[in-house]
Amino acid sequence: MLELINVSFKVLDDEGNEKEILKNINLKIEDRFIAITGPNGGGKSTLAKVIAGIYPVTDGKILFDGVDITNKSITDRAKMGISFAFQQPVRFKGLTVRDLITLAAGKEISVSDACTYLSEVGLCARDYIDREINASLSGGELKRIEIAMIMARGTKLSVFDEPEAGIDLWSFNNLIRVFQKMYEKTNGSIIIISHQEKILDIADKIVVVANGKVKSYGKKDDILSELLHRENSGFGCVKL
C-alpha cells in the first residue's frame, strides 16, 4: 500500500550545516494497522510529514498503491486518499468545528453525521459543533476534533502523529476504542506514531525509528517483547 524507497530528508541547521533527519529509509507497509515508535527526536514525526507531503524528500521515492507520489503536493496526496492528524492541531479564528468537519468530509454533511464523528471522540456535539477552533478550546479538545476530522475524511490511509499527547486518561481508553473501531469498521489503513504501549498493542506491526533510521520492523508481539525486554533489562533506555 505504502512504500518508502531510500528516503532521506535533510535540513540546514542554524549554522548552515546540513543535518540528516531521515537516513535512507526503506519501508514497505502492507498491513492495515502500523504503529511507529522510537525515542524522541528520532525522526518519527518527520517520517509522517514526509508521507503526507508536508516535507519534501531530499532523496528517494514514495509509492502509494504503486503510484509514485514523491513529487505530489499535500493537496494531491490528500485527494489520493492520505489523511494526516497533526500532533499539535492548528487553531483558526472564525472557523468552527462544523466548518472543519464539513471541509474534511469534502461535501455538505448533515448535523447528525457531524455529531456522530464528535461523539466517537467523546465530545458532546451540541456543545462543540458551533465552537470556533480558537484559543478557547483546550489542547485535548483540539486533538479529539483533529481525530474526528480524520474520521470524517474516511480515506484509504490515515496517519496520526501522537494522537494520545495531551489527552487525559479517561479519553485515552476511549481513544484506543476509536482506533479499534476504525480498524474494524472501515477498510482504511492506519499509521499511528505513538509512545504508548496500549496503542502499540493494537497494531498489526510496529516500526521502531531511531536516529533517522528504521531500527526494527516486525510483528507487534515480536517488537513489543523486544522493546519491553530492553527496557526491563535497563539497556539503551528505550522509551516507548
Partner 1 sequence: MNTIEKDLLEKVAGLHEIPEGAYNIRANGELGGRSTTANIDIVSKTDKPGIDIIIKPNTKNESVHIPVIISQSGLDDLVYNDFYIGENADVTIIAGCGIHNTGDKKSSHDGIHSFHVANGAKIKYVERHYGHGDGLGENVMNPTTVIEIDDGGYMEMETTQIKGIDSTVRVTTAKLGNEAKLVIRESLMTHGKQYAKTDFTVELNGENSSANVISRSVAKDNSYQVFYSNIKGNNKCAGHTECDAIIMDNAKVSAIPEITANHIDASLIHEAAIGKIAGEQLMKLMTLGLTEEEAEEQIVNGFLK
Chain residues in the site for partner 1 (CB under 8 A): 52, 54, 73-75, 78-79, 83-84, 86, 89-90, 92-96, 99-100, 103-104, 106, 149, 153
Length of the chain: 240
d(C-alpha 227, C-alpha 119), whole Å: 34
- Alpha carbon distance 52, 81 (integer Å): 10
CB of 29 to partner 1, least distance (A): 19
Q: How far is the CB of 235 from partner 1 (least distance, A)?
A: 38
Least distance from partner 1 to the Cβ atom of residue 73, Å: 7
Neighbours of 206 (CB within 10 A): 27
Closest CB 65 distance from partner 1, rounded Å:
17
Residue 91 beta carbon to partner 1: minimum distance, rounded to whole angstroms: 8
Q: Considering the complex, state which of residue 74 and residue 176 has its C-beta at the smaller distance from partner 1.
A: 74
Q: Looking at the chain, which runs of residues are DSSP E strands?
A: 2-12, 18-29, 33-37, 59-64, 67-68, 82-85, 157-161, 189-193, 205-210, 213-219
CA atoms within 13 A on the CB side of 182: 32
Assess contact for 220 and 205: CB atoms under 8 A. Answer: yes
In the complex, minimum distance from the CB of residue 37 to partner 1, in angstroms, rounded to a whole number: 22
201 DSSP 8-state letter: T
Which CB, 34 or 104, lies closer to partner 1?
104
Type of residue numbered 40: N
Residue nearer to partner 1 on the CB measure, 97 or 224: 97
If the CB atoms of residues 105 and 228 are measured against partner 1, the closer one turns out to be: 105
Q: Which is nearer to partner 1, 96 or 116 (CB)?
A: 96
Between 33 and 55, CB nearer to partner 1: 55
Q: Count other Cβ atoms within 10 Å, centred on residue 39.
A: 18
SS3 category, 16: coil
